[in-house]
Amino acid sequence: MNDRMPGPDSPIAPVKPPADPRIVLLIVASAMFMEQLDGTVLATALPAMARSFDADPLHMNIALTSYLLTLAMFIPASGRIADRFGSKTTFRAAIGLFTLGSILCAQAPTLWALVAARMLQGAGGAMMSPVGRLVMLRVVSKAELVRSMAWLMVPATIGPIIGPPVGGFLVTYLSWQWIFYINVPIGLLGVVLVTRFIDEMKEPARTKFDAVGLVLSGTALACLMFGIEVASRGVGSVVAIVSLLGVGGLSALLYWFHAKRTPKPMLDFRLLRVATFRASVVCGSLSRIAIGATPFLMPMMFQLGFGYSAAQSGLITFVGAIGSLMVRGCAPWLLRQLGFRTVLTWIGALATCLIALIAAFRPSWPLPLIYAVLVAGGFFQSLQFMAYNTIAYADVPSEDMSAATSFYTTFQQMTLTLGIAISAAALAASISVTGHAGPMLSDFTVAFLFVSAVAMLAPLLATRLDRDAGEEMSGHHRH
């Protein structure tokens, strides 16, 4: 019997009324908010946690990297697991794992116990985001996908805004354990709501689980991401970095040959034959390099180059998120008027130019002008990535949707990390060439210009998109 629920455009009526897309969207957005909040809150609490564990604060970085490594290992499997066990069951289990991991993090007696609990959290987080997106894709029609994606991205914007002040408040007035306990009520409520309001959806064909592909892709992604992370922070030996990147590269090569011989590989590169999906992955990855670099470079530039305090820097850097929030209500209208190709080319070029303009910031600039540039940048960058995140699924067949979400999320995570590494390398190269003892304002200028030049390749490549690409989603053909 076919136990897969019909898609939103299927002519076959479901046995019971389908889930309300608005309720589903709210549940998925809440889960993503919990995940986004957790990462930014934790970064604020690391010094206090180091004192609690009597550990070197520099070693506390492992609490962040252990989570990223687990994400890299399990994100590729998320789509296949959802196909086999059902997206409702998988999404509910992901929220449950993340919540359980949060409780264990709060109860951790040692640093290594914390690392183990963070890896359990990572296993839940690796499935929560891509499977949540898959749940949304299966209940929202293509005509409503732009509007739904606009509001789904709100938690990804709000989380980093309120994370640092929430983390600072909890650590200062309660204890660092509460940064994990705040996930518990959200997670428990999420499990209840998923059980009540989301329908089970499975793929009818039971294909063999690609265990070899999971090992090879997980090893490749974990080693490459960890190697990039260590290299970008300059905290590892050359031998360790080369070994990690070498093992990661070899595993990636072995996976490539394995995937060519496997009907349903863990990461299916054959999805790149779909023009809109390929454009979103390739162009979006180039653009995300600059997006990943910006939160790494900008706070340091204001503190080391401008001489601002951490508090002053934070009051400036967060304003870009205001621009991101402003675009949520008008994004569907803008895409309907302009179409995907125009947004990805001209708006994408404008967003990249605004990142490049950060390279020109100087202490003599009036703060209102800096705020205006950052708010405008947040607005246009958010519109650009909303278009990427939506058009990716415009032409993907419904039976490949789960594989597409895990593939897309994997490359999102990789390129954001790559942005940090590339910007750190550009910064170090400028320091070396100029002979500076440490990073100066001119070195940050070089780094911003370099990542902007890489990101500018994205709108150039986007010109190859068909003029009517994604018109069913944007509604642009009606104008």
Q: What is the pLDDT of residue 16?
A: 46
Residues 253 and 277 in one domain: no
Q: Name the residue with higher pLDDT: 314 or 431.
A: 431
Last residue of a domain, one of 164, 188, 205: 205
Residues 100 and 190 in one domain: yes
Q: Name the residue with higher pLDDT: 250 or 302.
A: 250
CA distance linking residue 45 with residue 43, whole number of Å: 6
Residues 224 and 305 in one domain: no
* Residue 144, Cβ density class (10 Å: 0-12 exposed, 13-18 middle, ≥19 buried): middle
Residues 7 and 76 in one domain: yes
Rounded (10°) angle between helices 154-173 and 145-152: 10
> Lowest-confidence range among 277-286, 289-298, 459-468?
289-298
Residues 361 and 416 in one domain: yes
Task: Let me know: does 319 contact 298? Beta carbons within 8 Å.
Answer: no
Q: What is the pLDDT of residue 355?
A: 93
CA 11 to chain centre: 34
Q: Which tokens sit at 470?
A: 């994604």
Q: What is the pLDDT of residue 19?
A: 59
Q: What is the pLDDT of residue 1?
A: 38
Residues 278 and 401 in one domain: yes
Q: Name the residue with higher pLDDT: 324 or 190.
A: 190
* Confidence at 2, pLDDT banded by 50, 70, 90: very low
pLDDT in tens, 228-246: 767 765 666 778 788 888 9
For residues 343-356, give the mean pLDDT: 93
How does DSSP assign 220-246, residue by residue? HHHHHHHHHHHHHHT-S-HHHHHHHHH
Residues 275 and 353 in one domain: yes
- pLDDT at residue 269 is higher than 60: yes
- Select from 327, 413, 386, 319 the least CA-distant residue to 358: 319
Residues 170 and 235 in one domain: no
Last residue of a domain, one of 242, 261, 280: 261
Supply the range of the domain harboring residue 36.
1-205
Q: Which tokens sit at 264?
A: 């349903």
Last residue of a domain, one of 189, 205, 221: 205
- pLDDT at residue 360 is higher than 90: yes
Q: Which tokens sit at 55?
A: 């550990």
Residues 215 and 138 in one domain: no
Residues 116 and 232 in one domain: no
CA distance linking residue 466 with residue 342, whole number of Å: 10
* Confidence at 460, pLDDT banded by 50, 70, 90: very high
* Confidence at 454, pLDDT banded by 50, 70, 90: very high
* Confidence at 459, pLDDT banded by 50, 70, 90: very high
Task: Let me know: does 146 contact 390? Beta carbons within 8 Å.
Answer: yes
SS3 364: coil
How does DSSP assign 307-331, residue by residue? ---HHHHHHHHTTHHHHHHHTTTTH
- Percent of the chain exceeding pLDDT 70 equals 82
pLDDT in tens, 123-182: 888 888 888 877 777 777 666 666 676 666 666 666 666 666 677 677 777 888 888 888
pLDDT in tens, 22-81: 777 778 877 877 877 776 677 667 667 777 877 765 566 667 667 877 877 788 787 778
For residues 358-367, give the mean pLDDT: 91
- Select from 413, 152, 154 the least CA-distant residue to 281: 413
Mean pLDDT of the chain: 79
- Select from 75, 37, 326, 288 the least CA-distant residue to 167: 37
Residues 125 and 58 in one domain: yes
Task: Let me know: does 259 contact 268? Beta carbons within 8 Å.
Answer: yes
Q: How many domains does the chain have?
A: 3
Q: Which residues contact 215 (CB under 8 A, 6 or more apart)?
A: none
**Residue tagged 């520099």 (tokens):** 58
For residues 463-476, give the mean pLDDT: 74
Q: From the CB of residue 15, how many other CB atoms can be counted at a distance below 10 Å?
A: 8
Q: Which residues contact 165 (CB under 8 A, 6 or more apart)?
A: none
* Confidence at 479, pLDDT banded by 50, 70, 90: very low
pLDDT in tens, 398-434: 777 778 888 888 888 778 777 877 887 888 888 888 8
Q: From the CB of residue 435, how many other CB atoms can be counted at a distance below 10 Å?
A: 6
> Lowest-confidence range among 42-46, 96-100, 369-373?
42-46
- pLDDT at residue 275 is higher than 60: yes
Task: Let me know: does 57 contact 47? Beta carbons within 8 Å.
Answer: yes
Q: What is the pLDDT of residue 416?
A: 75
Q: What is the pLDDT of residue 54?
A: 78
Q: What is the pLDDT of residue 163?
A: 66
Q: What is the pLDDT of residue 108?
A: 84
Task: Let me know: does 111 contact 59? Beta carbons within 8 Å.
Answer: yes
Residues 184 and 325 in one domain: no
Annotate 204-222 with three-state secondary structure. Answer: CCCCCCCHHHHHHHHHHHH
Angle at 128 between CA 32 and CA 107, to 5 degrees: 85
* Through-space distance between the first and last CA atoms of the chain, rounded to whole angstroms: 43
How does DSSP assign 156-183, residue by residue? HHHHHHHHHHHHHHHHHHS-TTHHHHTH
Alpha-helical regions (H) of 234-366: 238-260, 275-300, 310-317, 320-326, 331-338, 340-342, 348-357
CATH number (domain holding residue 364): 1.20.1250.20
- pLDDT at residue 458 is higher than 80: yes
For residues 358-366, give the mean pLDDT: 92
